[in-house]
Structure 1
């Protein structure tokens, strides 16, 4: 691991971004099949939109070790997508999210990354809970939230205009 690496799972390295990696993010979110569940319009991100997101994620990583992180496969160093925590603007709560290139769908990488993030969040004392949400039409993403133990709370239109199923994960109580 290097200074940008946050942690590893069995098959993945989760690390912070650098501005020179903007093309990777544009390739990911510039894909209409990836972006369709990210905003109400479903439009692919422009380079300018990706740059704003990247700068936000870099800042969150440097200041709070949060932000959406790069997902790199250990076996071959392939960039496969992003996963991590943002801050949900209406409430200020940490919010888990992920997006992977289509070639890597169905291999369990998003669930592995999300479970690793869940465990890291509480191990590193980031808070008592975090939220997650996905477009109500995105069955695969909703299944990941449930697979990692999140509980459904409500359906709401999020600031980007998507009707989303919201979930919460609270710090487990041991005793």
Structure 2
């Protein structure tokens, strides 16, 4: 593992980003099939939007070992998407999120990354709870949140204008 690698799961390496990896993020969030569930407009990210997000994730990783992380497959190093924790601005809560290239949908990678993040979050003492949210139309992402034990709480428009189902996961009492 490199100095940017946070942890590994059975099939994945979750690591911090470097600015020279911006093209990977532009490919991911510049894809309209991926961006459609990220904002109310569903518009693909511009290079400038991706660069701003990436800079924020790098800063958050450096400061708190949070931020959206690169997902690569262990067996061949293929970049498959991103997953990690942001900070939900309206409340300051850690917020889990993930986005994968379409070729990697339906293979259990999102669930594996989310479960690994859940376990790492509580094991490393990052907080007593975290939230997750997904577009109400995004059944696969909603299923991942529930699969890792998150409880649906309410539906609300998030700051980007997306109708989102919110979830919460609290530290288990026996931890």
Hey, what does 1:60 align to over in structure 2? Answer: 60
Structure 1 segments, 4+ long, off by >3 Å, are none
Please give the alpha-carbon distance, in whole angstroms, between the structure 1 residues aligned to 2:174 and 2:148.
18
Q: TM-score, normalised by structure 1?
A: 0.99
* CA shift for structure 1 position 122: 0.4
Hey, what does 2:32 align to over in structure 1? Answer: 32
Secondary structure at the aligned position of 2:77 is classed as: coil
Q: TM-score, normalised by structure 2?
A: 0.99
Hey, what does 1:2 align to over in structure 2? Answer: 2
Please give the alpha-carbon distance, in whole angstroms, between the structure 1 residues aligned to 2:68 and 2:162.
19
Hey, what does 2:169 align to over in structure 1? Answer: 169
Deviations 1:110-153 (A, max 9, x none): 00000000000000000000000000000000000000000000
* CA shift for structure 1 position 174: 1.2
Hey, what does 2:105 align to over in structure 1? Answer: 105
* CA shift for structure 1 position 6: 0.2
Hey, what does 1:149 align to over in structure 2? Answer: 149
> RMSD over aligned Cα, in angstroms?
0.7
Deviations 1:78-114 (A, max 9, x none): 0000000000000000000000000000000000000
* CA shift for structure 1 position 154: 0.2
Please give the alpha-carbon distance, in whole angstroms, between the structure 2 residues aligned to 1:104 and 1:70.
14
Secondary structure at the aligned position of 1:114 is classed as: helix
Secondary structure at the aligned position of 1:25 is classed as: helix
Please give the alpha-carbon distance, in whole angstroms, between the structure 1 residues aligned to 2:70 and 2:50.
14
**Alignment map for 1:8-87 (pairs within 5 Å):** 8-87=8-87
Deviations 1:46-91 (A, max 9, x none): 0000000000000000000000000000011000000000000000
